[in-house]
Amino acid sequence: MRINKEGTGTLLIVGIILAGLDFIFCTYLPVWMYAILVPASIIFYGFFVQFFRNPKRVLTIDENAIVSPADGKVVVIEKVFEPEYLKTDCMQVSIFMSPLNVHLNRVPINGNVEFYKYHKGKYLVAFHPKSSLLNERNTTVITHKSGKKLLMRQIAGAVARRICFYLKEGQQVSQGEELGFIKFGSRCDLFLPLGTDIKVVMGQDVKGGMDVIARW
């Protein structure tokens, strides 16, 4: 199993702490107690390993498709006004990532990074209606060769406390490449031009880099 680079330091620190605790368990506790606690610490460490996993995938490459930027469940499909950059009515599609999902985010379309901005904010639960505007978040706008623009937000949640972002303004990006990482559960919002053909439904589970969210 491949591990995302964002997890290297975390896994090392957690491993050292758990190894120290296991040593204490085995040294000072009765056999029946450490026989329970040591396996529990291994399971706990396994949770961190699976969270930072970066599985190999066959990516969907399609110039006319908007591919899911994240693993998770579709929790919003609605027409909204996007006030930050596009300043127009859009179709919003939001994907909620639970702690059990892969948390690597991927570029949904080929294009140019026209805009990027980081916002400090609150840590409301990621499915809260106002989390897209009030929570800590990254806003990215990618312009397709057709001139159409896609706005994506990485949003921190009640547990997530760090959003990582790998791209820069002016950079040419390719569909499926690594865009960033959100630690410990959150959400991604996509804002698409009206008329975009949405291909997902509410409650649908999607995989980043593989499932088609919409078509131009």
- Report the interhelical angle of 31-51 vs 8-28 (nearest 10°): 180
The angle at the Cα of 179, spanning 82 to 91, to the nearest 5 degrees, equals 25
| Cα–Cα distance measured from residue 206 to residue 216, given in angstroms and rounded to the nearest whole number | 19
Residue pair 162/155 in contact by the 8 Å Cβ criterion: no
Of residues 68, 94, 132, 186, which has the active-site annotation?
Answer: 186
Let me know if 186 is a catalytic residue. Answer: yes
Rg for the chain, CA atoms, rounded: 19
Q: What is the DSSP letter of 53?
A: B
| Count of beta carbons in the 10 Å neighbourhood of residue 56 | 7
Q: Is 182 left (phi over 0), alpha (psi -120 to 50) or beta?
A: beta
List residues with catalytic annotation.
186
